Amino acid sequence: MEAVKEVIDQAAALVKRFEEFRATRYWDVNGWAIGYGTHMENPPVRISREEAEKLMRQHLESLHSRLRREIKGDLKPHQWAAILSWAYNVGVGNALRSKLLRYVKEGKLDLASQQFDRWVYVKGQIQPGLVRRRAIERAVFEGREVHSGD
């Protein structure tokens, strides 16, 4: 159980690094979101940081549970954290259909790592923020040290 908490803690730190806190709900390319980019069908109009943190962690725990059923091999906490941060951003449906997850399931972690770089587009356009996010998620997945300025 402690390993899951460690994974969620690491994933939450990654998510908060890239998702700006927004106290009021907003619409983005994936629908309604609130807090730290948590997507919901009908989010509250306003949320506190504490509520947003709790909501984000619940979503990460749900993602972990769902993806754990798909991934039978053992991953290190930092690998799970990177995958959860990525899946939180791209959505579980996209994650489940991805080559990245397929390679993880096949134990081809080097190939899986390379796939992070492909998830940098929104509506066919490369997004600099996603390029940076994926580079850091890939580095975390690979176990490389990531500094706060990266």
Domains delineated in the chain: 2-19+48-141 (1.10.530.40)
Determine the Cα–Cα distance for residues 132 and 103; give it in Å rounded to an integer.
22
pLDDT in tens, 114-150: 999 999 998 899 999 999 999 999 999 999 977 766 6
pLDDT in tens, 11-62: 999 999 999 999 999 998 888 999 999 999 999 999 999 999 999 999 999 9
43 contacts 34 by C-beta, under 8 angstroms: yes
Among all residues, which ones are annotated catalytic?
A: 19
130 contacts 88 by C-beta, under 8 angstroms: no
* Whole-model pTM over 0.85: yes
